[in-house]
Structure 1
Amino acid sequence: MAGTRLGGGVAAGGRDHRLDMFRGIALVMIFINHVPGTIYENLTSRNFGFSDAAEAFVFMSGMAAGLAYSNRFRTGSIWLAMTRVWARARQLYFVHLSITMLSLAVFAAAALWFDRAQLLNQNNLASLFSRPLSAMIGIPLLTHQLGYLNILPLYTVLLLATPLLLVIGLRRPWLLLGASILLWAAAGQFRLNFPNFPTPGGWFFNPFSWQLLFVIGLLAGAAMKQGERFFALSRPLFWAALGFLVLALLWGKIAAVGAAGGSVLRLLQQAGVPFYFTAFDKTFLTLPRLLHALALFYVLGSLTFLSTLAANAMAAPLRLLGRQGLAVFAFGTVLSMALQALKSGTTPDPLVDGVLLGSGIAAMLGLAWVLSRTAEMRAAARA
């Protein structure tokens, strides 16, 4: 794997506290964003640029896969390495089905016992009543996904492809990256996507598009496992990335800048530039979103003081959330659905919403602590 040694980072094979901390931050932001209608969603990353916590989640999932599985593909049995990755994909699949059923139970209870039947027409639930047999086929096939429950199907598909990605990427990393970029472009150009059923259209998180972010994370994680960087530190690139982040911030916060930027994009569209270069479409991970996410990751990855910050005791709660990412995400998703039902038909209230969201985050932390403590006790018992 080509790259340079990590400066101020983590040793080869060591645990990078930054990844845990930023995964924890992403989980908190996803939880807040999944309870719409509070003032606190205005504080999450999506309000300060073109991308949001979903891009961070997918990129860091790729990094985590590179860190966890790459060495097994470098040495040892390829088959055993593949089965380990696919076991994780199987776990994600059943977690997705579980949180889907629990979310359905939440909305059904709200409609049955709390007179909030309007919830049954939201979050892609309507097909369960208009075409129940088809919807019950679509849910296990991952072709019918409830609103806010779209990202684990994407992650599952990407993990199923991870063995092939690592076999190629560990030998020809730039070939893999080039092929990934071409697939991203083809998905945008020809509107390639996985199909929905029974509703029309495609997946909200298009695997053909979002694989690019996962692949970049996977290559970065595999390099980190060797104590290297896949993308070398570059002062000009750092300042270019930082400049793009500032532009995106001004674009969203200053009307004149946003209007000027929008005019430029419209001119490009009229000149025939494809939409995936000029739009802000989330399904196809269009270029403005992709570049913003990559710029953010590059800047954060270049700031060596973040390694010290991530290892600090003040960041321990975020690291704890990040280490138990799947369980925390699943629990937080179901909890956010319950809060959606609870808040349905009510007006936003900073105090009440703050208590609800704060209690939810505290519950997520409690779960992460219990799981971590249990794992430590098991490890001590085996020693």
Structure 2
Amino acid sequence: MSTASDVPAAPRARDPRLDFFRGMGMCIILIAHIPWNPWTNWIPARFGFSDAADMFVFCSGMASAIAFGRVFAQHGWLIGTFRILHRLWQVYWVHICAFVTVLTLAIALDQMLDVDHYVREELKLQPVLDDPRTYLVNLLTLRFVPNYFDILPMYLVVLAMTPVAMALARVSPALAGAVSVALWLGAQAGVLELTADATTGRPWFFNPFAWQLLFFTGFAFARGWLPAPPRDRRLALAAGGLVAIGIPLGCQNEFQCYAGFGAAPALGEAHEALGALIAKTNLGPLRYLHFLATAYLAFLAVGEGGRRLAGRVPDVLRMIGKQTLAVFLTGLVIAQGLGALLDVVGRSPLSALLVNLAGQAILLIAALIVTAVKSPPWRKPPVPDRRASSPAGARPPRGSPTTQAAAPG
């Protein structure tokens, strides 16, 4: 049994909204990853229950539905599964290379600045250097997932669930949704989780059995398993109310947020009281609803088809969003270097401004380079050689533009 969404469709133009919000997410994630970055106090995570990680996973689900769902529909389940395996292979080695690169950079920073800080304190990777045989084996088998490198492993596990979701959806999209909800409930109950450090028993910071719900929510919207939400004033008011409630409760306490709200003890206590409802590790239900409310307001704000996304800044964000994996990897690496730069020059408003803007510029440069690499000159149609089409030995008449251009002086 197949569904209407499984019928092969003609290629469609890229949705500017998807690239725009993926690019925005990449920029925010870079800011959040720079150690002790003053700008971190003003990212959306400080004023709500969800953050850029939620945006990244939701948009990844939509992008996967567009990129891989079409393969399943046009070439069948087996070929679609092989396509997913190919992507898993790519992302796995990106994860490994990112870890080795960032660890090497941290070691180099410690040596250059003559400190014992970046490996041990910032990244907390000293155990890897103390016992490399154990930790490197665990790294390659995903039994060691450091906190700074935890998004891509979660994405690997969730993406590996896609063939199962597509098989279930051939019976009924509702069945695929029910299984997704069941996995999420298992994570909430503490039944389903993975170990991020086999030596200590620490669980994954992003529980993939919980976060797959957000991924497949985006996937379902893009595949047409869920209809686009209506543009309804009452729904907008409800979403706005939930987002407004999250603003004063987004910061946990004065040590984790300096934007103002976190300094109020009563608000910090209220935040802590919400507990599992807004938990990040298991994607608490209130966190999930807060993201959907935020996404709905953004959906309304950009207009139908993203018609309001015009101008220089949206264009730049869309360019960044088109190359999410490469840009995310770039941000993961340069964030530590930018943090070290702030350690050296200080964290004044001016230095923070310049360092953060430099980081965003590097993300754009990375996106431009990857775009160029993906469309090399040899893939473009050849320029016709007019001389080859002219009769042999034929010369243009004297005084013609060609002879004039070739004449000396």
Shorter-chain TM-score above 0.5: yes
The letter for the 2-side match of 1:80 is: I
- Partner residue, 1:300: 298
How big is the shift at 1:338?
A: 1.8
1-structure distance, mates of 2:83, 2:378: 20
Does residue 156 (structure 1) correspond to residue 156 (structure 2)? The answer is yes
Q: 1:249 to 1:15 in 2, by over 3 A?
A: same
What TM-score, normalized to structure 1?
A: 0.86
Q: 1:170 to 1:343 in 2, by over 3 A?
A: farther
2-structure distance, mates of 1:110, 1:261: 36
RMSD: 2.8
- Partner residue, 1:285: 283
CA contact (8 A) 1:35 1:336 kept: yes
Q: 1:86 to 1:258 in 2, by over 3 A?
A: farther
CA contact (8 A) 2:24 2:317 kept: yes
- Partner residue, 1:6: none
- What are the equivalent positions in structure 2 for 1:19-38 lying under 5 Å apart? 19-38=18-37
SS of equivalent residue, structure 2 residue 286:
helix
2-structure distance, mates of 1:365, 1:264: 36
Deviations 1:69-122 (A, max 9, x none): 212222323211111122111111111111100001011111223212122223
Deviations 1:220-258 (A, max 9, x none): 12129xxx8354554433321121011111434668999
Unaligned runs of at least 5 residues, structure 2: 251-259, 383-409
Moved more, 169-178 or 209-218: 169-178
How big is the shift at 1:170?
A: 5.2
2-structure distance, mates of 1:379, 1:23: 29
- Partner residue, 1:78: 77
2-structure distance, mates of 1:257, 1:87: 49
SS of equivalent residue, structure 1 residue 80:
helix
CA contact (8 A) 1:107 1:120 kept: yes
Does residue 111 (structure 1) correspond to residue 116 (structure 2)? The answer is no
The letter for the 2-side match of 1:84 is: R
- Partner residue, 1:189: 189
- Partner residue, 1:100: 99
- What are the equivalent positions in structure 2 for 1:224-263 lying under 5 Å apart? 229-252=227-250, 259=266
Unaligned runs of at least 5 residues, structure 1: 4-10, 270-274
How big is the shift at 1:309?
A: 2.6
Identity across matched positions, percent: 30
SS of equivalent residue, structure 2 residue 281:
coil
Moved more, 110-119 or 151-160: 110-119
Moved more, 206-215 or 161-170: 161-170
- If asked which structure has higher relative contact order (CA below 8 Å, sep 6+), I would say 1
- Partner residue, 1:124: 124
The letter for the 1-side match of 2:79 is: L
CA contact (8 A) 2:249 2:271 kept: no
- Partner residue, 2:145: 145
How big is the shift at 1:333?
A: 0.7
2-structure distance, mates of 1:378, 1:229: 41
How big is the shift at 1:265?
A: 8.0
Deviations 1:140-194 (A, max 9, x none): 1122223321101111111111111122235422222222122112111125211
- What are the equivalent positions in structure 2 for 1:218-367 lying under 5 Å apart? 218-223=219-224, 229-252=227-250, 259=266, 266=273, 276-277=276-277, 280-303=278-301, 305=303, 307-344=306-343, 347-367=346-366
CA contact (8 A) 2:143 2:195 kept: yes
- Partner residue, 1:174: 174
Aligned residues: 364
How big is the shift at 1:310?
A: 2.5
1-structure distance, mates of 2:107, 2:78: 43
How big is the shift at 1:60?
A: 0.5
CA contact (8 A) 2:35 2:336 kept: no
2-structure distance, mates of 1:200, 1:167: 33
2-structure distance, mates of 1:24, 1:283: 23
CA contact (8 A) 1:138 1:198 kept: no
CA contact (8 A) 2:204 2:281 kept: yes
User: Highest Rg: 1 or 2?
Assistant: 2
Moved more, 16-25 or 356-365: 356-365
